[in-house]
Amino acid sequence: MSDTEDNKIRTEIEKLVENFCDLKFKKPSFIPGKTEIPASGKVLGFDEIKNIVNASLDGWLTTGRFNSNFQITLAKYLGVKHLITANSGSSANLIAFSSLTSHLHKDKAIKPGDEVITVAAGFPTTINPIFQNAAVPVFIDVKIPTYNVDEKLVEAAITKKTKAIMLAHTLGNTFNVDKIVEICKKNNLWLVEDNCDALGTKYKGRFSGTFGDVATLSFYPAHHITMGEGGAVFTNNLKIKRVSESFRDWGRDCYCEPGKENTCNKRFEWQLGKLPFGYDHKYIYSHIGFNMKITDMQAACGLAQLNKLDIFIKKRKENFSYLKTNLKNLQDNLILPEEERGAEPSWFGFPITLSKKCKIKRKDLINKLYEKKIGTRLLFSGNLTKQPAFVGKNFRVSSKLTNTDHIMENTFWVGLYPGLGEEELSYVVKVIKDCF
C-alpha cells in the first residue's frame, strides 16, 4: 500500500471514529440519586480513540512510535532526563525498587535483609517490591489530615541496615519533601517516590517525583491520565534508567529500542559473565528481570491524554476546593484534608476522616452514600500490617501506628476526577450533610 492510499483510508476511518465518539462519549444528563457518581474514572474522547485506532492500523502492536513520543513528551513536561513506560503503576514500583538492587550500584545496592522505611497507611504495591526483593519494610506512622509520613519519626527508624526510604505522595498530597530529602542525604539513603497518585502535583513550584533518586506513575483509568493499564518510571540518573530498562525488558543488558539493533556499535564485541567473547549483546542478561512493556495502542491513548493533562489538573483542584468549602461547617464531625506545607496538590481524591466526636460510624455513612449512587473508597489498605497477605511476613514496626489505625477505622474518600462537575459535587455535599 502506498503512503497516499494509507492516508486516504485512515482519514475515512477517522471520520467514522469521530461520529462514533460523538455518540459514545456524550455525557448524559445528571439525575440525583439515579446517576452514579464514581470515586474515580476516566475522561475519554475522539482524540484518544483516533490515536488508538491509528496505532492499531500500524500493525506494530508492541512499543513503537507512539510510545517513544509519549516518553519524550512526558519527560519534558516533568523536567526530567529519563522516563520509561511500564505496563502498570504497580510494575513501575517493582521496576524502580528493583533497579536499586543492581550489582552496578556496588556497596549502595539494596540486598536481602536491608531495611526500607515506609508507612503502613497506603496501597500494597508501594510495599510489595520491598518484600519481593527480600528487603525488610520498616513502618512508621502518618499524620492526619495530610495522610503522609510523620517526618519526625523517620530518623528514629534508621539503623545500620537502612538503605532506602520509599513513600507515596498520598492522594496527590506530597509528603514533607524537604525533610525527607535532607534525611536521605544525611544518611546516604535512596529515596523512591511513589508518584502514582500525584501526576501534576508540585512542591514549592517543582513537580513531585523529581526530588528522589527514582519515581513512578500510574495510568490506570482511575488516575490523572489513562492508557487503560500502564505506568512509568522516571529519573535523572542514567544508571538507574538503564537498569530500570533492563529489569523491565527481561533483564537484558542490551539497551536497543524495539526493532533496532547495534545501538552500542559493538554488538558482537562483548564479554560478560562466563559467556564467550563476542556473544550477541541482544541476548546477554545482566539482571533477573521481567517483561513489563506496554503496547503502542496504550501509549497512543496516553499521548492524547497528555494534551489534556493541565485541564484535568485544574479541574481536580477546583473540585477539591468546592468540596472543602462546602463541607467546612461539618468540621466538628469530619476532619477535612489539608495540603502539606509547600505542596500544590493535583488531588487524586478527597479524603475525609470521622472525628472522635462523630456519632455516625463510617460503614453507615458510606452505605448511605452508596444508596444515593455516590461512590467512595477507603484509604486503600488501612493498616497494611493487619492485611492477611502481610501476616507472618518479615517487617519491623518502628513507631506506634496510632493514626494509621484511626485511618483504618474512620477514613474514606470521595471522587474529584474531571468528569465530575458542580452539579454532581453539590449533590455529594447535600447527601453528606443530610447524614448529620
Model confidence pLDDT, tens digit, residues 187-226 = 999 999 999 999 999 999 999 999 999 999 999 999 999 9
- Say yes or no: 84 and 232 in one domain: yes
Q: Which of 286, 305, 324 is at the close of a domain?
A: 305
The percent of residues in the chain predicted with pLDDT above 70, rounded, is 100
The one-letter code for the residue type at 140 is I
Q: How many domains does the chain have?
A: 2
- Say yes or no: 85 and 168 in one domain: yes
Picking from 221, 257, 208, 252, the residue whose alpha carbon sits closest to that of residue 85 is: 257
Cell representation of residue 398: 518502628
> What whole-number distance in Å separates Cα of residue 181 and Cα of residue 149?
13
- Say yes or no: 284 and 383 in one domain: no
- Say yes or no: 295 and 316 in one domain: no
Binned at pLDDT 50, 70 and 90, residue 413 comes out as very high
What is the arithmetic mean of pLDDT over 346-354?
98
What is the arithmetic mean of pLDDT over 377-393?
96
What is the arithmetic mean of pLDDT over 126-148?
98
Q: Which of 281, 305, 329 is at the close of a domain?
A: 305
- Say yes or no: 351 and 234 in one domain: no
Angle at 148 between CA 144 and CA 149, to 5 degrees: 105
- Say yes or no: 366 and 278 in one domain: no
**CATH number for the domain that contains residue 413:** 3.90.1150.10
- Say yes or no: 177 and 286 in one domain: yes
- Say yes or no: 198 and 248 in one domain: yes
In a domain, 31, yes or no: no
How many Å separate Cα 313 from the centre of its chain? 15
The one-letter code for the residue type at 77 is Y
Please say whether the beta carbons of 110 and 190 come within 8 A: yes
Of 92-106, 168-182, 220-234, 254-268, the least confident: 254-268
pLDDT of residue 280: 95
What is the residue range of 345's domain? 310-434
pLDDT digits (tens, 9 = 90+) for 9-50: 999 999 999 999 999 999 999 999 999 999 999 999 999 999
Concatenating the DSSP letter of every residue in 159-181 gives -TTEEEEEEE-GGG----HHHHH
Please say whether the beta carbons of 344 and 201 come within 8 A: yes
Binned at pLDDT 50, 70 and 90, residue 3 comes out as confident
In a domain, 165, yes or no: yes
pLDDT digits (tens, 9 = 90+) for 49-103: 999 999 999 999 999 999 999 999 999 999 999 999 999 999 999 999 999 999 9
In a domain, 299, yes or no: yes
In a domain, 213, yes or no: yes
In a domain, 9, yes or no: no
Beta strands in 101-143 (DSSP E): 115-119, 136-140
Per-residue pLDDT for 420 more than 80? yes
- Say yes or no: 405 and 299 in one domain: no
Give Cβ neighbours of residue 83 (< 8 Å, ≥ 6 apart). Answer: 71, 74, 75, 232, 233, 234
- Say yes or no: 88 and 137 in one domain: yes
In a domain, 344, yes or no: yes
Per-residue pLDDT for 259 more than 80? no
**CATH number for the domain that contains residue 238:** 3.40.640.10
What is the arithmetic mean of pLDDT over 244-252?
97
Q: Which of 223, 224, 287, 406 is catalytic?
A: 223
What is the arithmetic mean of pLDDT over 263-276?
94
In a domain, 33, yes or no: no
- Say yes or no: 288 and 168 in one domain: yes
pTM of the full structure:
0.96
Q: Which of 256, 274, 305 is at the close of a domain?
A: 305
Other C-beta atoms lying within 10 Å of the C-beta of residue 331: 10
User: What is the average pLDDT score of the chain?
Assistant: 97
How many Å separate Cα 389 from the centre of its chain? 21
Q: Can 224 be counted among the known catalytic residues?
A: no
What is the arithmetic mean of pLDDT over 354-378?
97
Binned at pLDDT 50, 70 and 90, residue 260 comes out as confident
- Say yes or no: 281 and 362 in one domain: no
Please say whether the beta carbons of 80 and 240 come within 8 A: no
In a domain, 70, yes or no: yes
Per-residue pLDDT for 295 more than 90? yes
Binned at pLDDT 50, 70 and 90, residue 347 comes out as very high
pLDDT of residue 1: 83
